[in-house]
Amino acid sequence: MKLPLGITILRGEGVDKKRFFTISLMAWLVIVLAVSCGNSEPVAKGRLVTETYTVVTGDTLDVISYQFIKKSSVRRDVREFREGIIQLNWEEVFKNRYPHGLIRPGDKLKINYWVEEK
C-alpha cells in the first residue's frame, strides 16, 4: 500500500528508508515549532549585579543567601541561591573543601543577583 507521499507501508515490501526518515524528521520539527510558538516570556529589563562578600564568624551560606535574596528583584528559593554561590565560587573557595558548602571567616565570596530597572 502506498501513501500519497510515496512511502510504502511496512508489509515486507521495500521501504524507502531515507524518504521515511526525512518526512519523520520534518514532522517532528513542525510539531516542536508549533508547540514552542508563543511560549516565550517577556524579557525583564535590568542588570546582573556582582558583589564580593567577606565571610565573618557566625555566617552560614543560608544566612548570606537570605541577605542577598532581599536585594534581588527575582524571587528564588534559598537553596537555589546557596547553590549558585557555591557554583560561582567553586574554584576559589569550595573545590578542596568537604563538605563543599563549608565557609570560613575571611573567605571572599562573589555573589550574583538580578536588579530590575524600570
Q: Please give the model's pTM, rounded to 2 decimal places.
A: 0.60
Residue 52's DSSP bridge partners are 110
CA distance 87 to 68: 16
Q: Are 100 and 82 spatial neighbours (Cβ–Cβ below 8 Å)?
A: no
| Tens digit of pLDDT at every position of the chain (118 positions) | 555 555 555 554 555 777 777 888 788 777 777 666 665 666 668 889 999 999 999 999 999 999 999 998 888 889 999 999 999 999 999 988 888 789 999 999 999 999 988 7
